[in-house]
Amino acid sequence: MTGTVGSENIVDLYATGEQSIIYWTALSEGRLVLPRCFACETTFFFPRRWCPSCWSDDVRFVESLGSGTIYAVSELHTAFQGVTKEQLPVAVVIVELDEGIRIPGRLAKTSMPGAIGDRVVLRFAADPATELPCFVAASSDSQGEHHD
């Protein structure tokens, strides 16, 4: 883990090991990176030392534009880990990225309710080091305005 004790940095909050530190650090810098196996040329999620398709360790992170379509969506009306009562309702999504893999995330309030098949893109917060990115409807991406 990096950073100082008591930091609100998302790397400190969420990263659990060497591979995931790379992933969360990129997010904290406003970049989405995805693990890719250069042996079998498969991009996958989540970060692992070995490719889950061929077990090669030739895994390197590649940048992603973070654009894709909603694969599944649910509007939470109950506060679970990661959500406070005051934030409700929030929409959680699984997004199928254009790279052909799926990642979990949050849909911006301004883009709710959101439907399966909708085009979305990952948008970073003004301070990506302390606030998680969320998906917004692709059409509203030009705003550049921060979510909730």
Partner 1 sequence: MASTSDAVIVGIGETRLGKRPGVTGVELQAEAVMAALRDAGLGKDDVDGLFNLGPYSNPSQMYAMTLSEYMGVRPAVQSSIDGGGSWTPIYMLANCIWAVQSGQCSVAVCTFGEAAATGRPVQGSGWTTSGARPEYEYPFGITGAVGPYALIASRHMALYGTTPEDLGEIAMSARRHAALNDNAVRQTLFTMDDYLASRMVASPLRLFDCSTMVDGAGAVVVTSPERAADLPNHPVSISGFAARTSHRTVGQFVDLDQIELREVAERAMGRAGISLHDVDVAEIHDAFTISTLIYLEEMGFCRRGEGGDYVREGRIDLGSRCPVNTHGGLLSQGHVAGFLHVTEAVRQLRHDAGAAQVADAEVAMVAGNGGILGTNAVMILGRS
In whole angstroms, give the CA distance from residue 51 to residue 73: 28
CA angle at residue 117 from 114 to 60, to 5 degrees? 105
Question: In this complex, which beta carbon is closest to partner 1, that of residue 55 or of residue 104?
Answer: 104
Question: In this complex, which beta carbon is closest to partner 1, that of residue 4 or of residue 81?
Answer: 81
Report in angstroms how near the CB of residue 21 gets to partner 1 at its nearest.
11
Report in angstroms how near the CB of residue 127 gets to partner 1 at its nearest.
16
Question: In this complex, which beta carbon is closest to partner 1, that of residue 102 or of residue 146?
Answer: 102
- Contact indicator for 134, 104 with CB cutoff of 8 Å: no
C-alpha torsion sign, points 61, 29, 146, 6: positive
Report in angstroms how near the CB of residue 144 gets to partner 1 at its nearest.
22
User: Which residue spans within the chain are E strands per DSSP?
Assistant: 32-37, 42-43, 59-64, 67-76, 90-97, 102-107, 119-123, 134-137
Question: In this complex, which beta carbon is closest to partner 1, that of residue 62 or of residue 72?
Answer: 72
Report in angstroms how near the CB of residue 22 gets to partner 1 at its nearest.
13
Contacting positions for partner 1 (CB under 8 A): 10, 13-16, 20, 45-46, 71-83, 90, 92-94, 102-106, 115-117, 132, 134
